[in-house]
Structure 1
């Protein structure tokens, strides 16, 4: 059964290579069969691996092949590892990824670069699978950098539009900051323990680092990598601009793959973070601040996909908050349910955008309930799960985070921020649905009900409603948190907060239109709409000084010593070349003069 692990990432990887080499000579149907079929096979292998894992009573297993290289006593092998955390991640990536692939066949039909799109998409899935199945840090880092490369290729897929290229470069550069931090952390682990195996390194840290400052530094560097890839403060600015890519790309990046990589990294190395409680508290604070700030920004956005982008940042913030409070199982649980309802929202948004001739401004939408009832139903279910309304998958996972966090640390500042974020989430979810489907119709839609667009949405609707019933085989990864009593008023408050936000939103919509318009045009809303000014701040602190330095250093001061050597050589050449006149009397005079000079010196 161990060979199954090798085939899970290998199927989309091989199809990606085939599409890159020969896709341009194939028609859309063979490309679609190859692209979707490989991910479907990967999903079947994943299912078989999960069933085998469950049948073995949750015993972790893996595969190790021939070593990559051996140098300075360090053996680097190609190893894969499968446990409860891997099972959840693989199931989400291949399951949701397969639905997004099916949707993409219809969404991208007729595109001139249809084959290139699926080549990149399959490579993205393969790299993410390598990341979550890696048994050693080097293979994990390969997948980590691979998804970064693929995000650059997919965000800038329509590269002929300059803004798309800018968004791709921004995502690539910003996430590189976190990648450098991650690389430094992994190098410290290798230097200290002389190994790359993830489980063995974490076990060694537990034995040798209690009370050591090294645990804190490594945890801080790993957090830096996770913050960059998962778009958390202060490196969250790339994700809203990543909406430049095709909508299926947005669904894949934001729901099942790249942005969850940071959550997976912290969960996988939780043994190191447990040795650094201050860093763990920082994880919770970063998550709480991110979820609240992003929720406020989502509340005032006008672009449909940017609303969903800020929503993703906020929901990933909930996962970081859960990790920081020790609620690791709740964080992974929310990762899974979020993949369901966020993929549903993005794909439903893509259907709306296509029907409105690629219009994304919600101010030009409205009244779509009657002409697009199926999309309205999908959005209603997705928004209900996003707002954590009762009996949806988001309700169970988000409530688990808030209740377990309260049990672990009580009602601290971060917990109240997370609770307030639940209220704001309900507000912007209601605002999004009302803007799209209620009121007057501002743009006449042309509904597209092709089966490949509708069937994935139908399946995701069921997962968004009932996905919380899927068991979480995490007992072999995270030790059970001690049961602590949560007072009944806290239960009721957590349960009521999304409902309060929903009721407050309805009251504002019905009674205070003038106040809403005044707020929407006010300074605070403009500040939130601009992402709290982080782009402007970074532009003044980093971009402008670097551009000024580049202008000042146009001739590059580092080249001056080399240029001085060139100048000296040129002067010497010009001086000596004049002695080579080609005239015999000049040479004779030189010889006689030199001889006289030598005799004068000798005598």
Structure 2
């Protein structure tokens, strides 16, 4: 199959196949032996503190790398046909490969140096991918994503002095006595995982091509923050303050993602808001000190969300780029294979019984009603679960069960487009049960009352009924995430009055010194021009002298050694 792909994508595909096979083999080997491996290289020391590069090879990092490599392989296979007509497909593949490599560096990082390398690599490559189409919308979305990620970078840099107090820049020596470092890392993770109030950049990232959206929303950029919280909580645990922050942010994000998806008609943004809701569920699970369960839901979510986005990409190809669901009218009835893939991935999103997300999502909700979580967070999560069923059913009703639209045309797709979707389809069905059985840490037996179990199924059925009866609606308040999108884009307008008065105040201070400052500026310009002239002559003389010395030396050498 690789021979049929474009020559620009053969090398990335071969690398991803090799990476997924190696990660799977090492994961199974370490899982059987119950061991972990660390590889550390000391670079230099500062005041008895070694600056080192630490790689972590354990079941968490290897399994996550396996998932990322498999999904990236499917996305690259899909991109060979999806971006076939693009003039800059080589540049697109190169940036996308840099994106995947940065994510793998972050996965295996155990020291701050590698963490920043992968973290910044994700931020820069995601910015280049989001602005790929070079429009005003993509440029605004790219800068919003970049600036939000920069906030996380600043927070991580703020943690460096406190980490140096532990005598190492590795994550493992951090203890409860350095809880401030943990809180800083958690804050940085919230910016990358698009938790409230840093949620505006995730729907905006839909300006990128569909293969990029499939990677960003499934197993890379947004999951980097969740993975960092999982790694920190597994190595040292979380104190009550950190748990409360995660519970609050996760509950609010899950609720806002569900409400915004109901009032959105753009198919890609609906799926983006569903990612926001599921990320809130993972962070809420981490707030309940259940990192293994959050990791399991992260894996299952990655599989079906990548499938959902690739199906949405095929829908856009069939519908000539139209993204408004109100104009799609049972479009999937003309493509039965895509219809099956899209429906199953939507059922996984809702948490339907006996498919992948059922083994993680329902366990999280059962643990929630059994734990000592405040009633506000529980209410937000229960409403969020119902909203997930509502917008998923509404999306299925429009694309599969509505009236036929004249815009939907029958298009014959090549076999190559279905291969990555078929692989993700199988993984979306069985990945939950597979990871649940592979690792005993994921086994959770709940002894909840039948009332709570019926409550879970009741939320699912209520969402299905409401989703079938609800009509398309539009609300700027909810589709903008409670004005979070507008406030993030127009943040400079809030500071305009302050900057205006500041300028007036500065002019008032400098008014008696205007003549003196102008004289100083003129003297500075004259000195600058003089030094530039002197530098030019000195550089010219040095360059000519160097050439003369080299020429004379070569002549002397060849004269002595004919």
Global fold match (TM > 0.5): yes
The higher radius of gyration belongs to: 1
2:99–2:126 contact (8 Å) kept in structure 1: yes
Q: Equivalent of 1:182, from 152, 156, 173?
A: 156
Task: Give the whole-Å Cα distance in 1 for the aligned partners of 2:273 and 2:401.
Answer: 22
Residues of 2 paired with 1:141 and 1:457: CA distance? 33
- Is the Cα contact below 8 Å between 1:219 and 1:273 reproduced in 2? no
Post-superposition offset of 1:471: 2.6
Q: Find 1:314's aligned residue among 274, 277, 284.
A: 277
- Residue 397 of structure 2 is matched in structure 1 by 434
2:423 alignment counterpart: 459
Aligned-residue Cα RMSD (Å) equals: 2.9
Q: Find 2:467's aligned residue among 474, 498, 505.
A: 505
TM-score of the aligned structures, taking structure 1 as reference length = 0.80
User: How many residues get paired?
Assistant: 519
- List alignment gaps of at least 5 residues for structure 2: 527-562
Q: Distance in 2 between matches of 1:153 and 1:562?
A: 44
| Corresponding residue for residue 305 of structure 1 | 268
Match in the other structure for 1:291: 254
Q: Closer, same or farther in 2 for the Cα pair 1:486/1:68, shift >3 Å?
A: same
Tell me the equivalent position of 2:99.
124
Q: Please report how far the alpha carbon of residue 429 of structure 1 lies from its aligned counterpart in structure 2 after TM superposition.
A: 0.2
Deviation at residue 330 of structure 1 after TM alignment: 1.3
1:532 pairs, out of 456, 466, 482, with 482
- Which string of whole-angstrom CA distances, capped at 9 and with x for unpartnered residues, describes residues 212-262 of structure 1? xx41x3332222111110111000000111000000000000001110111
**In structure 2, C-alpha distance between the alignment counterparts of 1:573 and 1:415, rounded to whole Å:** 66
Q: How does 1:146-161 map to 2 (within 5 A)?
A: 146-159=121-134, 161=135
Q: CA separation in 2, counterparts of 1:531 and 1:130?
A: 32
Give the alignment of 1:563-574 within 5 angstroms: 564=516, 567-568=519-520, 570=522
Q: Counterparts of 2:237 and 2:120 in 1: how far apart (Å)?
A: 26
3-state DSSP of counterpart to 1:198: coil
Question: What's the counterpart of residue 595 of structure 1?
Answer: none
Separation of aligned partners in 1, 2:296 and 2:90 = 34
Q: What is the distance in 2 between the residues matched to 1:394 and 1:167?
A: 30
Residue 545 of structure 1 pairs with residue 494 of structure 2: yes
Cα distance, 1:299 vs. partner?
Answer: 0.9
User: Hey, what does 2:292 align to over in structure 1?
Assistant: 329
Match of 1:447 in 2: 411
How big is the shift at 1:424? Answer: 0.7
User: By how many angstroms is 1:64 displaced?
Assistant: 2.6
Contact 2:44 2:52 in 1 (8 A): yes
Shift of the 493–186 alpha-carbon distance from structure 1 to 2, 3 Å rule, reads farther
Cα distance in 1 for partners of 2:146, 2:104 equals 20
8 Å Cα contact 1:253/1:259 also seen in 2: yes
Q: Does 1:46 align with 2:30?
A: no
- 2:367 is matched with 404
Query: Aligned partners of 1:162 and 1:234: how far apart in 2?
Result: 24
Gaps of 5+ in 1: 1-26, 510-515, 575-603
Is residue 2:489 matched to residue 1:489?
A: no
1:196 maps onto 2:159 in alignment: no
Instruction: Check conservation: 1:243, 1:309, Cα contact below 8 A.
Output: yes
2:267–2:323 Cα contact (<8 Å) kept: yes
1:472-516 deviations in Å (ceiling 9; x for gaps): 59979x7999x874323112212332122113323x25xxxxxx4
- Alignment CA distance shift 1:480-1:187 (3 Å): farther
**Contact 2:156–2:188 under 8 Å retained in 1:** yes
The residue number in structure 2 matching 1:75 is 50
Quote how far apart the aligned CAs of 1:436 are: 1.7
Q: Give, in angstroms, the shift of residue 28 of structure 1.
A: 7.6
1:33 aligned partner: 10
Q: What is the aligned counterpart of 2:40 among 49, 56, 64?
A: 64
Q: Over residues 399-452 of structure 1, what are the superposed CA-to-partner deviations in whole Å (9 max), with x where a residue is unaligned?
A: 111112333325732122212211110000011111122222331235352223
Alignment correspondent of 1:111: 86
- The 8 Å contact of residues 348 and 356 in structure 2, kept in 1 or not, is answered as yes
Cα distance, 1:305 vs. partner? 0.5
